[in-house]
Amino acid sequence: MNPAPSVQPDKDVFCGSAAITELSARLAMDTEADISDDQITAILGPGTVDAFRYARGCLQGSVRRTTGEPAFCHSADIAMRAADLGYPRPVIEVCLLHDIVEERSSDVAELAHCQDEIAARFDPTVAEDVRLCTNRYSILIRSLAVPEGLAFGPESREPLRQVLTALRNGLPEPMRQRFQAELDRLTGYFLDELDLSGGAAKARLNRRFTVMSEVRLQSYRLFLQELGDDSRQRPSSEGFHEVPLVVKALDMVDNLRTSDAANLGGLERILLKTESYLDNSFYLHEHVRQAGREDATTFLYIYDYLKHQLIEQLRERQRALEYLADTRFGILARYLGQQIGRLQEKYKIGDSPVEQLAQLRDQIRERNMPGSPPPKES
């Protein structure tokens, strides 16, 4: 007989207003729901209507793999969270637009077309932030003409290099120049360091998991490295540009909150991506301090916000799995327990992540809107 699961009534809830939760639910339940401009403005702020309607139209008919809900619900929810945290209009617009290019692009031509469409419609800085929030590496890899029978071993590096070279050579010259940096990274040190051995075990559990699935997963590191490089090197940033980093962190928060408790592959994937974000951006703490930008950015807070969300959301899933621990899910519950312990020690998370999340929310709001009163909770 399993012990009764521990009861922990205090949870990290979305502390938004009733209007926020109502809009979120309407978007999830009715893809044709009539949302007025005034409703959008009241929740997301002035100037966000065009991005809301454009993103909703672009994502119409797309659904999320994890939840089966309309894909736009995810974009809208992270925009609402950004608004709740006091972020300005450009950040909210990028939240709304961040998934459009990946959802609509299966090859390089579609990738370029979607980027151009956004650039023609929105502010240049917003368009560049959306470009940075798009994992172009994943789209480039998806478009490769990959030979069958690739093995989860170093012998697959050369065939991958050949198809990447063929992709580059087959592009029109303007397109080749446009994506030269991404292709150089993929054919350079990424392939040199590529270790596919971990994918073999995943493929044994899921026959749809291929060598290219593992390549796409590992290419996420290139995407995150570019976010960090951009934050330090953007010419107009005055030392640090945080918007893509903030949007990606909020994206991961929503992915964590909607992950399936009983799906080992899904949990491993979101855990890997979140941990990769935290590890690949940790060095930016020192850069922010050396640049004297500690009082001008929320990045240090949003970094802590994400790592506390990681622990709390893993705990929530462990608690859910405790009810199923007399079946095969007992192993998954123990796996989560091990990961929680490891990550708490690694990221120095205490025993009250919910309390810390409440404090971090207030700190982010104060940084974004100094002196503003806390919002009324529903």
Q: What is the pLDDT of residues 183-242, one digit of tens each?
A: 999 999 899 999 998 888 888 878 888 999 999 999 999 999 999 999 999 987 788 999
3 is a domain residue: no
Residue 164 one-letter amino acid: L
10 is a domain residue: no
Residue 306's contacts (CB-CB under 8 Å, 6 or more residues apart) are: 249, 252, 253, 274, 277, 278
What length is written for the chain?
A: 378
238: left (phi over 0), alpha (psi -120 to 50) or beta: left
Report pLDDT for 6.
46
8 is a domain residue: no
Q: Are 242 and 158 a contacting pair, CB within 8 Å? A: no
Decide if pLDDT at 93 tops 80. yes
- Confidence bin at 348 (pLDDT 50/70/90): very high
Decide if pLDDT at 320 tops 90. no
Where is 56: in which H helix or E strand?
helix 49-59
The stretch 112-130 carries a mean pLDDT of 98
Q: Are residues 100 and 221 in the same domain?
A: no
214 is a domain residue: yes
Q: Are residues 216 and 249 in the same domain?
A: no
Domain termination site, one of 99, 134, 169: 134
Domain termination site, one of 205, 233, 261: 233
> Could you tell me which residue, 234 or 3, shows the higher pLDDT?
234
The stretch 270-292 carries a mean pLDDT of 95
- Confidence bin at 19 (pLDDT 50/70/90): confident
Residue 365 one-letter amino acid: R
Distance CA 372, CA 83 (A): 13
- Confidence bin at 16 (pLDDT 50/70/90): low
Report pLDDT for 372.
73
Residue 348's contacts (CB-CB under 8 Å, 6 or more residues apart) are: none
Domain termination site, one of 134, 157, 188: 134
Q: What is the pLDDT of residues 44-88, one digit of tens each?
A: 999 999 999 999 999 998 988 777 889 999 999 999 999 999 999
Q: Are residues 43 and 121 in the same domain?
A: yes
Q: Are residues 22 and 118 in the same domain?
A: yes
Q: Are residues 227 and 278 in the same domain?
A: no
Q: Are residues 365 and 245 in the same domain?
A: yes
> Could you tell me which residue, 13 or 18, shows the higher pLDDT?
18
Report pLDDT for 376.
57
Phi/psi of residue 246, each to 5°? -65, -50
Distance CA 201, CA 288 (A): 40
> Quick one: 181 exposed, middle or buried, by C-beta within 10 A (0-12, 13-18, 19+)?
exposed
Q: Are residues 253 and 202 in the same domain?
A: no
Distance CA 286, CA 277 (A): 16
Q: Are residues 360 and 246 in the same domain?
A: yes
Per the prediction, the chain carries an average pLDDT of: 90
- Confidence bin at 155 (pLDDT 50/70/90): very high
The stretch 129-134 carries a mean pLDDT of 98
210 is a domain residue: yes
> Could you tell me which residue, 262 or 37, shows the higher pLDDT?
37
32 is a domain residue: yes
Q: Are residues 68 and 38 in the same domain?
A: yes
Give pTM, 2 decimals: 0.92
Decide if pLDDT at 160 tops 70. yes
- Confidence bin at 15 (pLDDT 50/70/90): low
Report pLDDT for 13.
54
Domain range for 56: 15-134
5 is a domain residue: no
49 is a domain residue: yes
Q: Are residues 254 and 229 in the same domain?
A: no
Report pLDDT for 2.
44
Q: Are residues 205 and 261 in the same domain?
A: no
Collapsed DSSP state (helix, strand, coil) of residue 132 = helix
Q: What is the DSSP letter of 5?
A: P
Report pLDDT for 377.
52
Report pLDDT for 260.
81
Chain CA centroid to CA 86, Å: 19
Q: Are 288 and 231 a contacting pair, CB within 8 Å? A: no
The stretch 252-278 carries a mean pLDDT of 89
Q: Are residues 247 and 206 in the same domain?
A: no
Highest mean predicted confidence (pLDDT) among 91-100, 262-271, 330-339, 368-377: 91-100
Total tally of structural domains belonging to the chain: 3
